[in-house]
Amino acid sequence: MPTGVRMPFTELKMKPIRGMFVVLCIVASGSALVAAPKDFSGADAFAYTERAVALGPRPDGSSAIAKLRATIKAQLATRGCEVTGDSFTAQTPEGPISMENIIAKFPGKSGRAIVISGHYDTKKLPGFVGANDGGSSTGMLLEFAAALQGRVRVDDVYVVFLDGEEAVRKEWAGTDNTYGSRHLAAKWLQDGTTRRIKGLINVDMTGDKNLRLVYDDNSTPSLRKLVWDVADSLGYSAAFPRQPTMMEDDHISFITAGVRAVDLIDFDSQSTFWHTPQDTMDKLDPHSFEIIGRVVMKSIEELEQQK
């Protein structure tokens, strides 16, 4: 059980008052008494990541990713959100593979929506556990769900665990990547969700020490500006430099469908140990999780102010 997980509990306290015993019963689940919303915790996001990584390599088709899906759904079931599974069969160079995006919806009132996404699959490589690449995004998303629980919202906020980001065969090429985001973007275009989305923030490889994000030129400029300005206002400019680079990641699937989207990713191979067996928990820092968590939570509030 990671820290910060609030399980329903019933506490019975016997308190003596003037020789009498008053029974005080606190029920912290259901409607009787709702716990105050918690702030995003980098330590808790790190702990969730640790738990995912402990399952070992989590490529699509593995028993470990099936266990991880069950863990994600069990966690989300405690968060007071609507959880939907988006299952599909991906046609990959290695044949058909079952995949599933997991979508948690925290409802607002405006009819508009904001999305936080990230991928939870890991690249199929010998000895690769993907602490930063696949692990950190999973931990971040689980902690976003914890921090969103019990808050009054303007817009719907979706926390989306994307499957199949990684190429199945060797490295990223053609359509052998972003299976989950492409599937969900097409689905949302068809069911009208796309039109309701004010912005999508994708997180990927944001848990490493010496966090320095890519200033991605493929991201929607106005949304990138909003997030980078929020980072500056919180004193995190060092982690959010403004040297343009172009990234291909899950956000592209949504941008292609007409959604404003930004990718938050540290792609410095020196600090991320990208696609090597050295991408392990000891390379991560809870403070990096905390920085991204605070910036994203504040960015959601700013987006909610927009029409």
User: For residues 232 and 248, which CB has a smaller minimum distance to Zn ion in the complex?
Assistant: 248
- For residue 73 the two structure tokens come to 């759904």
Q: Does residue 133 belong to the site contacting Zn ion (CB under 5 A)?
A: yes
Could you tell me the smallest distance in angstroms from the CB atom of residue 56 to Zn ion? 16
256 residue type, one letter: T
Pick 123 or 124: Cβ nearer Zn ion:
123
Would you put residue 150 in left (φ > 0), alpha (ψ -120 to 50) or beta? left
Torsions phi, psi for 130 (to 5 deg): 55, 60
- Structural tokens at position 303: 């987006």
- What DSSP designation does 136 have? I
State the number of binding residues for Zn ion (CB under 5 A).
2
Select 123 or 212, whichever has its Cβ closest to Zn ion: 123
Toward Zn ion, which CB reaches closer, 60 or 133?
Answer: 133
Nearer to Zn ion, 237 or 269 (CB): 269
Q: Which of residues 100-129 bind Zn ion (CB under 5 A)?
A: 123
Angle at 291 between CA 287 and CA 292, to 5 degrees: 120
204 lines the binding site for Zn ion (CB under 5 A): no
Task: Provide the minimum distance between the beta carbon of 274 and Zn ion in the complex, in angstroms, as a whole number.
Answer: 7
**Residue 70 neighbours by CB distance under 10 Å:** 10
266 near Zn ion, judged by CB under 5 A: no
Cα angle value 42/179/105 (rounded, 5°): 50
Strands 156-162 and 197-204: unpaired
In angstroms, give the least distance from the CB of 250 to Zn ion: 11
105: number of Cβ within 10 Å: 16
Q: Which residue is nearest to Zn ion (CB)?
A: 133
Residues near Zn ion (CB under 5 A) are 123, 133
